[in-house]
Structure 1
Amino acid sequence: MGQVLTLAAATMAAAILSLATPAEAGRSDGFDLRAVGQMAKGAKTWLQSGLYPLDPAVTVDLGRGRETLCHRRQPYAVWHMLGLVEMQVEYALSREGCRDRGGEPLPMSVDTLQSIGRLPATLPAAPAFVPTERDKLIALGPWVAFGAILTLVSLRRGMRSRRRRIRREIMGLPDGPVFRLIDAMAHAAACDGDAAPEELEHILRVAREVTDLDYTADHISELVSRSERPRSVGAMRREFADGLTVAQGRLMLNAVLSVVAADGRMAGAEKRFVNRLTKALGFRRKEVRTALADMLSRRGDAAPA
C-alpha cells in the first residue's frame, strides 16, 4: 500500500531556472532535462526516511528477543522527469526502537503471526501510510508549483498584451491585418537588436502607403523599440498569423522580407525570425527563397549576405 508524493515544487523550480535565455544558451527553447532528472534523483534520495514506530508502539518477541514493530518506508522513482516518488510502506522489525534505517522483514505474514498470538489482532494486515510533517509540506509542492506557473504565465501574457496595446496606440490602428503587417515588419527590424536606418525608412514608407496616414520617423522608432524578442512558432502564429487569409499571409511575408533585405544583409537573428514566421504562416522555405529572389531581381540587387 502506498501513496504517490510528488516533488513538483522542486523539479519545476529547477526547470524554470534551467530555461535558457538567448545569451546563455543560444535562444534555446525548453528545459535542461538533465538538470531536472538530477533534481528528481536527489529528491528521491532525500525522501529515504527509513523506519517509523507505530502509534501506539508495538513490541514483539519472535524468538530473537524483544523487537519493535515499525513502518518501513521505501521510496522508488515512478518518473524521474517529473520527480514523482511513491512511498512503499511495509512492516519491519527493529532491535533499536525503529531508530535504525533498514530493520528486518517479518518472518511470516501478518495474518499468520496474528493467528499464533504473536501480533495484536487489531493490527491491520497492510500498514497504513502515516505522513510526517515533512511529507505534508512536500504534498503541497504540486499546488504551489502549479499556482506559481499559472501566475508566471498570466503575468507574461498580461505584459505582452499591454505591450501590444501600446504598439497599437502608437500607430493608432485596431488589431487587424494592417496593424499585424506593420507590427511584423517592426519585429523583423528589431530582432537582431540593431534596426538599420534603411529598415526604419522602409517601414515608414510602407506604413504610410497601406494606411494613408502621415506617420513620422518617431512613430516607427517607438514602434520598433516596443517590439519583443522573437519567440516560438506558436507564439508568432498567435501574434501575427491567426485570422489571416493566404493572400494576407503572403503579403506579410513579403513585407518582412523587404525589411530584412533593406540594408543589404541578413543577420542570423533575421533568418531565424523569417524561418519562424514562415512556419507560423504555413508556408514553405522554398516559397521564401523564391519570394526573396523575385524581390531582389526587381530591385537589381544581389542576395543579402
Structure 2
Amino acid sequence: MKRHLLFGLCTMLMLSSCVSKKEFAALEAKHKETQDLLNTATVKLNSCLSDKAAANASLDALKDQLSDLRKSNKALIESTKDMTILTTKGAENLEKSLESLKEKDLKISRLQDALTKKDSVTLAIVTSLKKAVGINDPDIEVNVEKGVVFISIADKLLFKTGSYTVTDKAKSVLAKVAKVINDKPDFEAMIEGHTDSRSYSKGVLVDNWDLSVKRSTSIIRVLQELGVNPSQLIAAGRSSYVPLAENDTAENRAKNRRTRVVVLPKIDQFYEMIENEMKNLSSEN
C-alpha cells in the first residue's frame, strides 16, 4: 500500500514538472478514483474472507452433525434388526404356545367325550338295575356315587342274624343283580360287606372284619353260580368303619348292616382308553 502511495507521489512530482495544472488535476482525480476503488475492493475482500471463515465453521458443524446422524442411523438399523429377530422369535413362541393349547384342548375334549360316554353307560346301568330290582323296595337302594353305580342291599334280605349263609330269598334278588352284571362284561362288580359296631366272634370268625369279608365271598359264590364271570367279581369287607348312621339304636344298626354291589369300569381298560387317545394325538401331530 505504501509503495503504491510513493509511486503515486513520485509520478505526481514528475508530472507536475512536465504537465500542466489541468492535466495534473485530471491525473489527481483519476488517482483518487483508483484509490477509492482499491479501498472498496479491500473492504469487499475482508468481508468475503469473513464470510468464508463463517462458512467453513458452519461446514465443520454440519460435518459433525452428519457424522452424528450416521452413527444414530447405524444404531437404529442395528436396533431394528434386533427387534426383528425378537419379534420373529416371539411370533414363533406364540405360535408354538397356540399349538400346545390346541393339543391340550383336543385332549380335554376327547377325555370329556370319554367321560360323557362313561356317564351314559352309568345312567343305563342305573336304569337297568332299578328296573330289575324295583325302585320301591326300601331295603334295596340303587344310586350313583362319584360316578360309580352301586346297589345297597339291607342285611335282612341276605343273611340271618350273625350268619354269613345267603338265604333262599336273597337268591332271587341276586339273580336280578347277576343279570345286570352279565349285560356289562366290560365292567367289574365289587361286593362290599358292612356290619354294625357290635363286636362279633363265632367259630373261625374273629371279628367284624372276618364277618364282613365272609359275607362278601358268600354272595360272590352265589353270583358265580348264577352265571357271573368270576373275573368280574371283587370281594371286599369294610367291617363297621363306613356306617350310614350312628350305631346308637337298633334301627340305625340295621341300616349299617348291609351289602353294597359296586359296579365300575375295569381300571386297566380305563387306562388303556387314555393311552389310545394319547397315541392318536401323537400320530396326528
TM-score, normalised to structure 2, is 0.29
Query: Greater Rg, structure 1 or structure 2?
Result: 2
More helix by share: 2
Larger relative contact order, structure 1 or 2 (CA cutoff 8 Å, min sep 6): 2
